[in-house]
A and B are shown apart, each in its own frame.
Chain A
C-alpha cells in the first residue's frame, strides 16, 4: 500500500538557519503530494502541494519539488523564523476519486532565537 516516510525529529535550529525536512513516498501511479503544518495548539493547515512530477509547491518561503525519479518531496526553507516552530507532515493522495491522504509520522521543528 501507499506509505510516506519522513525524517524523525525534533529538528532544532537557530533563527535564519536553512531547514530541510526529507520526505519519500511509496505509491502506485502518480499521487499528489502535500506538506501540512500544525502549529502548537492548532489544527493542520495545508502548507503547499504538487500534483505532478517536477512541480514545485511554494508558500510562506517554503518550497518542495515533486521528484518522481527519487520518489521524494523534501521541504526546504532558506531562513527560518521562530514562528516556523511547528510539526510538519508530508502526505500523499492517489489521483483516483475516492482517495484519502496517507501521512508521514510528522517532524517537529523548533526554531530558537
Chain B
C-alpha cells in the first residue's frame, strides 16, 4: 500500500483481556518495527523484524508481549492479560532494509486504553 496501515486505530479493553494489534507495512519493505509511545513520554522500542532473520525482541517489556510477522509482510502484536500500564499508542514502522540510511515510515498508531 501507499503507507503503513495499522488497525484498529483505537482499542479500549478491560484489564486482563488479550488484545491483538495489526500492522500492514509498505509493500516491499523488509524491515518492520514496533514502538510504544506512552503519555508524555518518548518512544520505546519493542521489537524488530528483518526479512527471514530471527526478530530482535530485546525491547519487549514482559512475556505478556509477543509479535509475529507472517509471510514477511503483515505483523501482529499481541498483549496478553492486559494491565493498565499497557495503555499507550503502539506505533509500527517499516523500512526498505537499511533503515539507518533511509529512515522509517510510521503508521498512525493504535491507541490502546486498558480500563
Contact = CB atoms under 8 A, between A and B. Distances in A.
A99 B42 contact: no
Interface string A45-62: 110010100000000000
Secondary structure dominating the interface of B: mixed
A103 interface: yes
Interface residues of A, number: 26
Contacts of B91: 43-44
Given A43-B108, A99-B99, A105 B48 contact: no
Contacts of A98: 48, 50, 53, 56
Contacts of A99: 99-100
> Majority SS of interface residues in chain A?
loop
B42 A96 contact: no
Interface of B: 33, 35, 41-43, 45, 48, 50, 53, 56, 91, 93, 97-101, 103-109
Given A98-B48, A98-B53, A46 B104 contact: yes
Contact of A100 (B41, B97, B99): B99
A94 B42 contact: no
6 contacts: A43-B109, A44-B91, A46-B105, A89-B42, A101-B43, A104-B42
A94 B108 contact: no
B103 A105 contact: no
Interface in A17-38: 31-32, 34, 36
B98 A97 contact: yes
